[in-house]
Amino acid sequence: MSASSKPSASQKETGKPSLKPNDLEAHFMPFTPQRSFKRKPRMLVGAKGMYYYSDDGREVLDASAGLWCVNAGHNHPKIVEAIRKQAGELDYAPNFAFAHPTAFKAASMLCAEMPGDIEHVFFSNSGSESVDTAVKIALAYWRARGQGTKTKIISRERAYHGVNICGVSLGGLQFNRKAFSGALMPNIDYLPHTHNLAKNAFSKGQPEWGAELANDLENLVTLHDPSNIAAVIVEPVAGSTGVLVPPKGYLEKLQAICKKHDILLIFDEVITGWGRLGKATAAERFNIIPDILTSAKGINSGTVPMGATFIRKHIYDAFMTGGEFGVEFAHGYTYSGHPLACAAAIATLEVYREEKLFENAEKLEKKWQDALHSLKGAPHVIDIRNIGLMGAVELDPGKRDYPNEMSRTMDVFDKMFFEQDIVMRFTGNVLAMSPPLIVNEGQIDQIVSRLRKALESVK
């Protein structure tokens, strides 16, 4: 072997010529511009409470609860201990034709937090899977009821329902859909989204204008006929597409139209659940009981992958027919109701209750609103939106040569991390925030004052 073809030490370790241990190449990252990221990574190596710790030794305030999920704060000792204990006792047990008690305990405790007669839950591993499950339940429900023509799903523009083919098909973002258009599900139609800068910019909480947008559902029902429509799915507050707060009366109208035409209403509460709006669910906050409610993220404070699809009693009951040795619902994941996820969910729920974290979110909503809206007039800001502990600051994009250079919003996001020691989210021209529910007033002030500095520092 010549000197030049001799494998390096790292090649010997990995056995593959181009891979080195611990370098950044192998990981094909989700939703990330990886070439620029890998040149200048934002690397998080530890976390505690409201803070992350970066690989260059900085304490970074988490203004987004990770990805809208770490509602109880990072590395909560009680949740960590519950996961550790469960891993030592029962690492894995199938829930197909076997079971383990932790799944039943978690199911009962979680269902007890749901409004009305939402009394059953189907477990999965992510928000995307909870949405897939919801759609399959809706279709199978109508079939079980002898109304198998009800197969169409009505979703909404600017919706985000995850990244499986079902979620992308329901989703209302061109950017997420265009590469997959040939594979998207048929039989979906879309309501208009509710975001309107001309009418609602700088609304505090729910905008006054826009309830009438729900009337478009009547038009779609007329077009397709109720006998063909299985369900309407909406995020009560659209999160990932930029915190789009429902106008006053909008969700109520959607519910009334669904009821009138015997169409199921699905709330995708992957973000809005578990205290984000000051209650266990947005359904409770808005006083609307959907037929199906999807959940993930805050269900166990983001500690172990988990999704959950909650359903009302009459839906569950519709499946419980036929011979009792027949499988009632041909669906399930290897990790549905995984012991670690369930143990984490139980401990998380106890933390939410013991530390009154939903109440803290409720108490701080006004402070959060006032602090965010104090950024009105800061450079580039064209809208500020908020509800619960969710907030968005929308920027004028300016004339950047994106994606050859950073967009202005990405630039602010980047400066927030490297110069202001804050983790937040951005999507398009929107900076989005959703701090853990343990946040305090001083930390809210820090988030906002540092955001002002970052806004002032970009052109």
Ligand X SMILES: Cc1ncc(COP(=O)(O)O)c(C=O)c1O
Residues that bind ligand X (CB under 6 A): 126-128, 131, 160-162, 235, 239-240, 268, 270-271, 296
- Closest approach of ligand X to the CB of residue 227, in Å: 28
Given the structure tokens 């499988």, which residue do they identify?
A: 327
Closer to ligand X by Cβ: residue 304 or 343: 304
Closer to ligand X by Cβ: residue 110 or 458: 110
- How many residues belong to the chain? 459
- Closest approach of ligand X to the CB of residue 173, in Å: 12
Closer to ligand X by Cβ: residue 118 or 381: 118
- Closest approach of ligand X to the CB of residue 413, in Å: 17
Closer to ligand X by Cβ: residue 160 or 455: 160
* Residue 454, CA distances (Å) to 37, 118, 384, 432, 459 in order: 19, 44, 16, 14, 10
Of the candidates 281, 284, 303, the one whose C-alpha atom is nearest the C-alpha of residue 294 is 281
Estimate the crossing angle of helix 339-354 against helix 357-373, to 10 degrees.
70
3-class DSSP assignment, residue 428: coil
- Closest approach of ligand X to the CB of residue 292, in Å: 13
Q: Which residue is nearest to ligand X (CB)?
A: 127
Closer to ligand X by Cβ: residue 64 or 446: 64
3-state helix, strand, coil in the chain (%, to 5): 40, 15, 45
- Closest approach of ligand X to the CB of residue 240, in Å: 4
* Residue 249, CA distances (Å) to 11, 208, 340, 357 in order: 62, 9, 40, 27
CB 231 within 8 A of CB 135: yes
- Closest approach of ligand X to the CB of residue 36, in Å: 22
What H or E segment, with its residue span, contains residue 414? helix 408-418
CB 52 within 8 A of CB 423: yes
Closer to ligand X by Cβ: residue 162 or 278: 162
